Amino acid sequence: MSSTDVLITGIGLVSSLGEGIDAHWQKLTADKIEPVIDAERFQPYVVHPLPAIDWGLQIPKRGDQRQMETWQRLGTYAAGLALDDAGLKTEEALCSTMDMVVAAGGGERDEAVDAAILEASASREDRAVLLNEKLTTELRPTLFLAQLSNLLAGNISIVHKVTGSSRTFMGEEGAGVAAIETAAARIRSGQASHVLVGGAFQTEHYDMLLGYELAGYLHRAPWKSVWQREGSEGGGVVSGSGGAFLVLESREHAEKRGRKAYAQLGAIYSGRARRGKEDLPAAISALAAKTGVPEGKPMLGISGVSGAHAATRAEKKAFDAMPDVALRGFSNLTGHLKEAQFPFAVALAALAVRNDQPYPAFDGQNEKPFEGQTSDVLATTIGYHQFEGMARILAAD
């Protein structure tokens, strides 16, 4: 034990399953759980939609809500849940010294304006002039701020008063991995004492689907388990809307304010396999070895598996060779949450550690039963296109 151990003292979760840790824990440990999906709105794609959210619970000012689109609201909301959970929501002094690392993509574009421009382009040769005409007159001036990647963090500062520092990492799942890895490294080295870290993804927007589909990554209806999409139409990814934020704290800082932790963050590593040149299953195995997956001891693994065919196949192959690890692919129930995928995996692992109980298989045909201890749980995310990350989540004391 060390005063600079990295403890997880607050968790904020939102997904199609609901909001908050209790809702997620209850649903994810139930005997039988059906995924919440919407197969109508974005045919032929399926998404895991957001639950109904009363934004005012975490974003009290209407004016603040209006300045954001759903993605920023969602992230700001999930961050608020985490701060609440850590008992920091009303601790202004602690929030003002709190560091923040947010994993973010971009916000929602104005679909109607884009569509109008594309439709008009059919009868115009001077498309560049058309763009100027339409964008200067039809864009809502403050929409830009709802799109900027770093403005999720900006809104968290405004709404929750977290102002020690504010950094936004970009780069799909890798951004979520790097955010937690960097936050942990800063705490361990004494560069930070408490950090808010996480991300959010709002998939219910055509442009967000396009981000996957430009390389044919999306699975097409009907919905199937994340481990069973090979051979179906499409690329295997079913995306979801959701967010995950964590409060990470040094042991010393948490103890000083008398907070009990869910778990502590053990080894954490990011990876950048040169996919296409390098053997991805081998790279995943090497990352697991580095993270310290023990041999001969059963271990629960919370997997952010995306469903993307090549990455999912590689993950399965790598873990088939680690028979002691029982993976739980939570994307089956939340969908792929992109930047929030790894924070979500770490959060679910921390819940299993705290409750001293594993999750049942989310896909009985493809996930092994697990009856071992959950005092040392693996969290993994193999990016659908690039970047990997793993961490071990351990009992806090």
Is 289 near another protein (CB under 8 A)? Answer: no
Considering the complex, what minimum distance in angstroms separates the CB of residue 47 from another protein? 13
Positions in 12-71 near another protein (CB under 8 A): 43, 45, 67
Each as own residue / partner, the long-range contacts of residues 289-294 (CB below 8 Å, 24 or more positions apart, any chain) are 290/390, 291/267, 291/378, 291/390, 291/391, 291/392, 292/266, 292/267, 292/392, 293/322, 293/324, 293/325, 293/378, 293/392, 294/324, 294/376
Q: Give every CB contact of residue 45 below 8 A, 6+ residues apart in sequence.
A: 209, 218, 219, 220, 221, 234, 238
Is 170 near another protein (CB under 8 A)? Answer: yes
Q: Show the tokens assigned to 232.
A: 């179906």
Considering the complex, what minimum distance in angstroms separates the CB of residue 184 from another protein? 11
Q: Shortest CA distance to 334 belongs to which of 211, 221, 244?
A: 244
| Helix ranges, 200-248 (H) | 206-213
Is 266 near another protein (CB under 8 A)? Answer: no
Q: Which of 23, 33, 53, 158 binds another protein (CB under 8 A)?
A: 158
Is 198 near another protein (CB under 8 A)? Answer: no
CA distance 313 to 95: 42
Is 144 near another protein (CB under 8 A)? Answer: yes
Nearer to another protein, 108 or 376 (CB): 108
Positions in 348-387 near another protein (CB under 8 A): 385-387
The β-bridge partners of 102 are 168, 198
Is 232 near another protein (CB under 8 A)? Answer: no
Considering the complex, what minimum distance in angstroms separates the CB of residue 65 from another protein? 13
CA distance 105 to 163: 21
- The one segment of 28-36, 112-120, 359-367, 370-378 that binds another protein by CB under 8 A: 112-120
Considering the complex, what minimum distance in angstroms separates the CB of residue 363 from another protein? 25
Q: Which of 175, 183, 300, 351 binds another protein (CB under 8 A)?
A: 175
Nearer to another protein, 215 or 289 (CB): 215
- The one segment of 223-231, 270-278, 328-336, 353-361 that binds another protein by CB under 8 A: 270-278
- Which class for 7: exposed (0-12), middle (13-18), buried (19 or more C-beta within 10 A)? buried
**How many residues of this chain interact with another protein, rule: CB under 8 A?**
82
- The one segment of 202-210, 240-248, 259-267, 363-371 that binds another protein by CB under 8 A: 202-210
Considering the complex, what minimum distance in angstroms separates the CB of residue 292 from another protein? 18
Q: Which of 76, 166, 303, 331 binds another protein (CB under 8 A)?
A: 166
Positions in 78-107 near another protein (CB under 8 A): 100, 104-106
Phi, psi (rounded to 5 degrees) for 27: -70, -40
Nearer to another protein, 16 or 168 (CB): 168
- 278: which DSSP letter? B
Q: Give every CB contact of residue 280 below 8 A, 6+ residues apart in sequence.
A: 273, 310, 311, 314, 318, 382
Nearer to another protein, 69 or 376 (CB): 69
Q: How far apart are the first and last CA of the chain?
A: 8
Is 123 near another protein (CB under 8 A)? Answer: no
Is 4 near another protein (CB under 8 A)? Answer: no
Query: How would you classify the pairing of strands 194-201 and 99-103?
Result: parallel
